[in-house]
Amino acid sequence: MNQAGQGLASIYAALAATAPLELAANVFTAVAIVLAGRNNVHTWWTGIAGTALFGLLFAQNRLYADVALQVFFVVTGIIGWWKWLRGQHGEPLPVTHAGANSLLWILPLGLGATAAYGAILHHFTNAYAPFIDSAVLVFSIIGQLLMMQRRVENWGFWLLVNTIATPLYFSRGLHLTAVLYAGFWINALVSWRNWHKLAAPPSLENIRP
């Protein structure tokens, strides 16, 4: 068997040994991510189920920033569900673009928060890869908040998160999660394009701060 074949066989064996908790968490999350890319409101309840299961999984693997992130996802999932259905004066929230001014301060704030929270985890816990884990936490929060508002630019932040998270989870032996996050990277790219088509043109009237 050549090297590529051996690599595929190793990945298959690892996936076959995936714990039921990781499998269930990924199934629900995968469905939620695909539905989000299609602007489907059912992304929220499936996402809530998936993130609750991931919270248990990450706690077992000492990824504490990710545990906190899953709690945040459950809470904001409930809020986002309501906002998509009733957030525009009782009507469904439309897809719009985020304002450039918002993005200019969001990025440095995200980097600063990553450094601060990573330092806390590094000094006070036994967290694995605290700064990388914190980057997943912080930029996932940003992506989630933008998605709650149905802003097109949320997908750019999910691209960043998936780029960081895929090798992180693989390094902890969460092979199925790593493979799916690589798939989420592709989904985020496609979804970004889809949401651009759904959004009204970025004029002064529909760009929000």
Q: What is the pLDDT of residue 35?
A: 95
Q: Among 21-25, 77-81, 147-151, which is the least confidently predicted range?
A: 21-25
- Pick the residue with more confidence: 190 or 90? 190
Q: What is the pLDDT of residue 123?
A: 92
Q: Give the whole-angstrom CA distance, residue 22 versus residue 147.
A: 24
By the 10 Å C-beta count (0-12 exposed, 13-18 middle, 19+ buried), 209 is classed as exposed
Q: What is the pLDDT of residue 11?
A: 58
Q: Where are the alpha helices (DSSP H) in the chain?
A: 3-16, 20-37, 43-60, 64-86, 100-124, 130-148, 154-171, 175-198
CA geometry: angle 199, 203, 209, nearest 5 deg: 85
Q: Give the whole-angstrom CA distance, residue 64 versus residue 1.
A: 39
Q: What is the pLDDT of residue 189?
A: 94
Residue 207: band (very low, low, confident or very high) from pLDDT cuts 50, 70, 90: very low
Interval 164-203: pLDDT, tens: 999 998 998 888 889 888 999 999 999 999 999 998 665 4
Torsion of CA 38, 95, 177, 108, to 10 degrees: 160
pLDDT for residue 17 is more than 70:
no
Identify whether the C-beta of residue 71 lies closer than 8 Å to the C-beta of residue 128: no
By the 10 Å C-beta count (0-12 exposed, 13-18 middle, 19+ buried), 60 is classed as exposed
- Pick the residue with more confidence: 15 or 79? 79
Query: Mean pLDDT for the chain?
Result: 87
The token pair at 98 is: 């985020």
The whole-number average pLDDT for the span 139-160 is 94
Whether pTM > 0.85 for this model: the answer is no
